[in-house]
Structure 1
Amino acid sequence: MASDRVATGVRMLVATAAGAAAAWSAAAGLYATTVLALLVAAWTGGAAVFALRPPLPPPPPPPVPAGEDERRRLVAYLDLSPAPLVVLEDGVLRAVNRAARRLFAADDTIAAAPPALVAVMTQTAPGRTATVTLDQGGIARPFALAAGELLLGGRVAQVGALIDIGTELKAAEATALRDLVQVLSHEIVNALTPIASLADTAAAMLRDTPPDLAAVREAVETVARRSGGLQRFGDTYRSLARLPAPDRNRVGIADLTTDLARLFAVRWPGIVLDVDITHAPPTILADADQLSAALWAVLQNAAEAMIDAAVPAPAARLAATTTVDAVAFTIANRGPAITPELAETIFHPFMTTKPEGSGVGLALARQIVRGHGGDIALLPAAGGWTAFVASLPLPRGF
């Protein structure tokens, strides 16, 4: 700046004057004055030169530790995730990313942790998924929870990712309602059409003189039978729609399979049922009555399929095995293979290929198994066996 240049010029003048004074003092023999003048000239000249030097560059910022750099990068990645991420450690629930902080209106610790979420995270095994409903401002919002574990300071913490499934559930409910209406309308119309026709026929017969009472009686009896079938259809639908939540208790697998085998032998003595629970746990947490009904429905379906197909040497298998985090019940039979077209609808309510079938057995079995947090599926045919597998999850620490 201008003021700096003026100060530097003054210093140079002082240094010049001090040099001249030193020369004069030396010539006059004033040596002490000469030394003092030289010191002043040296100091002033040095200050002027120092002032004219170029400015030093600013010091570089301190390096960021490698661990801190990784942490910042991880935080940025997590904040980009639209799924709220939470961690449960020692009973304390914390929000991990921006989506979780926004969902629970918390910076870190979630003070009012939803009890339902804490319970589901505690009970769900790593790698499994569960559903939980959270109250958001008086509105119930369903979420899917993907569970995992994390080792923090020698302690195990539960990690959860929440996925809003409200839109998907609404779409699934709309599809299910449409399918149900189609099934109900089809079944009811099919039952009512002959009933109405026979009722008109009977009424016309009664107007004849004299009426043919035998024909009228036959028509009325047919109406009664078809009406009874329609009533049974309504009762079956009611039982499927009113399935209660499972009352879970420890169920001995040996007792469960022994009872099923005994009932099977009485009901179908001509079919051999092989039971294998060698690789199964001693007990499972389930509703004993519902689980027995689900397995029995699949066994009944297997037996009837072999009888309808007149299989020469009918045989069935019931096996229970343990997987990483579930118990799998496999029911196989020597009946005919299920076609791909039929496999797509075999679990739909009221879908049946039997003349007197209700089409509820497999649908009820799937509803029961899913009510326990598991699922049931048709396995690919292998070695002449048609098999279904019902998997029920094992609770954490079971």
Structure 2
Amino acid sequence: MSATGDPARSAAPLDAAQLAEAFALFSRASEELSTAYNALQAQVGQLTERLSVLMGALPAGVLVVDRAGGVVQANRAAESLLGGGLAGQPWATLAARMEASGTPGEFLITARGEVRRLALSESELESGAERILLVHDVTDTHRMRLTAERNERLAAMGEMVAGLAHQLRTPLAAALLYTGNLRQPELDPAQRAMVADRALERLRYLERLIRDMLLFARGDSAGRQRFAVCELLAELAHTLEPVARARKVAFTADCACAAAELVGDRKALGGALTNLLENGIQACEAGGTLRCEAVLVGTADAGIGTSAVRFSVRDSGRGIAPELQERLFEPFFTTRAEGTGLGLAIARGVARAHGGDITLRSTPGQGAEFSLTVPLAAGAPSGGQEHP
């Protein structure tokens, strides 16, 4: 028989060796994959445990909301603020319990018989499958902020005591003088009536000054209600139009806010706008014009983080010098002999108490425009809608 033999028989042992080696490689790879998987599972377990501890330790409420708007996870702080058993509930149901506070991003909710103020923020995961909602209890912070603002006002009033004493002394001395003249028997009825009218005029000025002082000291708004912007503007126009007509000033009012609503102290906001309108009437000469309008502005225009209503009061008066414009909002600063100097300070305080502010634009000889901006009334956060 030939030494070379059958080629197929000589190749068989080589194939078996290769197969054994392949099985050995596969076995080692499988063991390495199994070891790596076990290590990964251990890391996932550690991360899950750490996340659970972190969620439980966070003072802020954390809720995870899925694409359908359902709460899939909530930490202890969230359940403390919004109630237990949050997982599985629609977020829209929870959001419906919140009321607008008048401050952008903050809402009111009644928990355990107490009204709490909550700040809400939202972040969406990159996958878009879930969103994370953070709920902060800012009740104490809000109270501290109000206390700090009140202390600032009281400190400002303390610094103004000397000036206030002077402002009270002058009209009071005039009222005393006129009242003393009423005792003179030689005055005829017409002179006596004139003296009495002047005394009453000085006393009314004192009353107005004291009223404005109290408004400035109290500062923020007392009550809150929901009301239509256009209704408020129509009411102001009805009140101020006769005053403007008496001074021969053409007054117009226009509301472009449709059905927009505000939440706040309607009386305080109306008073602040009335002050701006009365100042505009006083600034106009006979034959001048005064225009008041309300328009909706977006986030960038409002500058206060939400949609807002901007009330603009524009007059055709003499305008205001640049060096006086910033001082106009200082308490007791006035350019009018009969002004108390508190009207604009009160108006700015009311605007800021509602989350807004007042700005002024004026060029000497070209009139002035005051703009009072207030955030729109927001309902409960709309986090429950479905995402596409």
| Contact 1:120–1:132 (8 Å) recurs in 2 | no
Q: Which residue among 253, 268, 278 is the counterpart of 1:300?
A: 278
| Contact 2:291–2:313 (8 Å) recurs in 1 | yes
How do 1:152-171 and structure 2 match up within 5 A? 158-161=133-136, 165=141, 170-171=147-148
How do 1:25-36 and structure 2 match up within 5 A? none
Q: Does 1:318 align with 2:290?
A: no
Deviations 1:151-192 (A, max 9, x none): 899788753345663665554433221102223442124433
Query: Which residue number in structure 2 is paired with residue 110 of structure 1?
Result: 80
Which letter does structure 1 place at the counterpart of 2:261?
A: I
CA shift in 2, pair 1:68/1:175, >3 Å: same
In the alignment, the residues of structure 2 paired with residue 175 and residue 93 of structure 1 have an alpha-carbon distance, to the nearest angstrom, of 45
CA shift in 2, pair 1:267/1:341, >3 Å: same
- Post-superposition shift, 1:95? 6.4
Q: Does 1:327 align with 2:309?
A: yes
In the alignment, the residues of structure 2 paired with residue 141 and residue 249 of structure 1 have an alpha-carbon distance, to the nearest angstrom, of 18
Query: Which residue number in structure 1 is paired with residue 249 of structure 2?
Result: 271
Query: Which residue number in structure 1 is paired with residue 375 of structure 2?
Result: 392
Q: Does 1:180 align with 2:150?
A: no
Which letter does structure 1 place at the counterpart of 2:79?
A: T
- Post-superposition shift, 1:247? 4.5
How do 1:277-288 and structure 2 match up within 5 A? 277-278=255-256, 280-286=257-263, 288=266
Q: Which residue among 353, 369, 378 is the counterpart of 2:359?
A: 378
Taking only aligned residues, the RMSD between alpha carbons, in angstroms, comes to 5.6
- TM-score (ref. length: structure 1): 0.54
Query: Which residue number in structure 1 is paired with residue 104 of structure 2?
Result: 128
| Contact 1:281–1:322 (8 Å) recurs in 2 | no
How do 1:57-72 and structure 2 match up within 5 A? 59-60=35-36, 62=38, 64=40
In the alignment, the residues of structure 2 paired with residue 93 and residue 233 of structure 1 have an alpha-carbon distance, to the nearest angstrom, of 58
| Contact 2:283–2:318 (8 Å) recurs in 1 | yes
How do 1:1-398 and structure 2 match up within 5 A? 59-60=35-36, 62=38, 64=40, 84-87=60-63, 106=76, 109-110=79-80, 113=83, 122-124=98-100, 128-130=104-106, 145=119, 147-148=121-122, 158-161=133-136, 165=141, 170-192=147-169, 229-238=205-214, 241=218, 245-251=222-228, 253=230, 255-269=231-245, 270-278=248-256, 280-286=257-263, 288-307=266-285, 313-323=288-298, 325-339=307-321, 341-371=323-353, 373-381=354-362, 385-396=368-379
CA shift in 2, pair 1:389/1:150, >3 Å: same
| Contact 1:321–1:329 (8 Å) recurs in 2 | no
- Post-superposition shift, 1:87? 3.8
| Contact 2:289–2:316 (8 Å) recurs in 1 | yes
Secondary structure class of the residue paired with 1:389 = strand
CA shift in 2, pair 1:59/1:93, >3 Å: closer
CA shift in 2, pair 1:267/1:130, >3 Å: same
Secondary structure class of the residue paired with 2:228 = strand
Secondary structure class of the residue paired with 1:318 = strand
| Contact 1:95–1:110 (8 Å) recurs in 2 | no
Deviations 1:323-365 (A, max 9, x none): 3632222222233444555444433444322110123333343
- Post-superposition shift, 1:248? 1.4
Secondary structure class of the residue paired with 2:358 = strand
In the alignment, the residues of structure 2 paired with residue 120 and residue 343 of structure 1 have an alpha-carbon distance, to the nearest angstrom, of 44
Q: Computing the radius of gyration over CA atoms, which structure comes out larger, 1 or 2?
A: 1
In the alignment, the residues of structure 2 paired with residue 239 and residue 182 of structure 1 have an alpha-carbon distance, to the nearest angstrom, of 17
Query: Which residue number in structure 1 is paired with residue 385 of structure 2?
Result: none
- Post-superposition shift, 1:193? 7.2
- TM-score (ref. length: structure 2): 0.55
In the alignment, the residues of structure 2 paired with residue 385 and residue 198 of structure 1 have an alpha-carbon distance, to the nearest angstrom, of 35
The aligned length equals 308
| Contact 2:120–2:136 (8 Å) recurs in 1 | yes
CA shift in 2, pair 1:88/1:245, >3 Å: farther
Greater relative contact order, per chain length (Cα 8 Å cut-off, separation 6+): 2
In the alignment, the residues of structure 2 paired with residue 244 and residue 263 of structure 1 have an alpha-carbon distance, to the nearest angstrom, of 22
Structure 2 unaligned segments of length 5 or more: list them.
Answer: 1-30, 85-93, 300-306, 383-388
Identity of aligned residues (%): 20
